[in-house]
Amino acid sequence: MADDIASSPSVRPPSSRRTVLQGMAAGMVSAAATVPHGVDAAPVPMAADTAVNPETRYPRPPFPRQSQPWPGLAGKMVPRPDHGEGTYRGSGRLAGRKALITGGDSGIGRAAAIAYAREGADVAIAYLPQEEPDAQDVMALIRAAGRKAIAIPGDLRDEQYCKDLVAKAHAELGGLDILVSNAGRQVHQASIVDITTEQFDETFRTNVYALFFLARAAVPLMPPGGAIIATASVNAFSPSEILLDYSATKGAIVALVKSLAKQMVHKGIRVNAVAPGPFWTALQVSGGQTQDHIHQFGAETPMGRAGQPAELAPVYVLLASAEASYITGQVYAASGGTGVG
């Protein structure tokens, strides 16, 4: 999966506003091309001042119908998602920072991990043992950026694992000032009568309880200037009829983030959330969507396509960086033009 690894980022902060803007642009640009089925989604890197057409930047549906056993592997998806492996360019915006990212093996968490490393941060990722192949790819990418990489597999539904995860990340990274609670559980069901108590409980424990457990353990360890970032969803604001329990958890995450942000202001810790629309991740092909939805995934947006994880990486970088010092208690939506969020 690590087909094109970028060179290590500079660890010096940019010396001017122009340099900052150039670095941000470099991290977000890529070739404007529709990628055919079966070909990696990662586009060819382009110069920092190259404009791209967002409609045609990445693959558009229809996609092949496909499914994987939960939790799924990004490396087996067609087309393969772009996490920024060959496109993200850092500029030292997170130099010296220490980050823990859940679900860091694939999807949005993987994109954040790659970007954080290339921005100069050391990174620990949490993931399920079944996701080891994807996790090892990410470890290699973080180390290729010249940063420390820590892999801590386990199940976020387990309160003790969450406590141990934070403690181990803090110890092995030599500190902790960024927490990204990103891992999620999503299982589609046509009706409330089809949602078992077990599924409902697993979805809430993965999406909401884990955020609570992790934040509670991390806050005493985080210095002023720290950042907590949760992954919510546009389903918090416009719930899908087939994602009742998932949508409910995302609404809970938004409320938790806004409340916690107020608590943390005087500790100097900012708390925000990102609310993605349809993004092409393993979550979708491992029970998160019906086969018909997979086939036309993202087609309902005005942009006519799904988002790629690499397109959210700059948002997670911004919310973790000192540049966002006046941003807390906010929810940043990215939904392909729907206006939801």
Whether 51 is covered by a domain: the verdict is no
Q: Is the pLDDT of residue 34 over 80?
A: no
Q: Residue 269, class by beta-carbon neighbours within 10 Å (0-12 exposed, 13-18 middle, 19+ buried)? A: buried
Does residue 285 lie within any of the structural domains? Answer: yes
Domain membership of residue 72 (yes or no) is: no
| Residues that are catalytic | 246
Q: Is residue 165 part of a domain?
A: yes
> Total domain count for the chain?
1
Domain that includes residue 166, residue range: 96-334
Q: What pairs with residue 101 in β-bridges?
A: 125, 180
Backbone angles phi, psi at 174, to 5 degrees: 80, 30
pLDDT digit string (tens) for 3-15?
333 333 333 333 3
Mean pLDDT in the chain?
Answer: 86
Between CA 171 and CA 100 the distance in angstroms is: 12
179: in domain: yes
Residue 144's CATH number = 3.40.50.720
Query: From residue 220, how far is each of 167, 226, 260, 269 by CA, in Å?
Result: 11, 11, 14, 11
Residues 118-123 have a mean pLDDT of 98
Strands (DSSP E) contained in the chain are: 98-102, 122-127, 149-153, 178-181, 227-231, 270-276, 331-334
Lowest average pLDDT, out of 78-87, 98-107, 267-276, 290-299, goes to 290-299
Residue 326 lies in a domain: yes
- Per-residue pLDDT reduced to its tens digit, 178-211: 999 999 999 999 999 999 999 999 999 999 999 9
pLDDT tens digits, 307-324: 999 999 999 999 999 999
28 in any annotated domain:
no
Residue 227's DSSP bridge partners are 178, 270
Tally of CB atoms within 10 A around 10: 16
pTM for this model (two decimals): 0.84
Question: Considering the domain boundaries, does residue 218 fall inside one?
Answer: yes
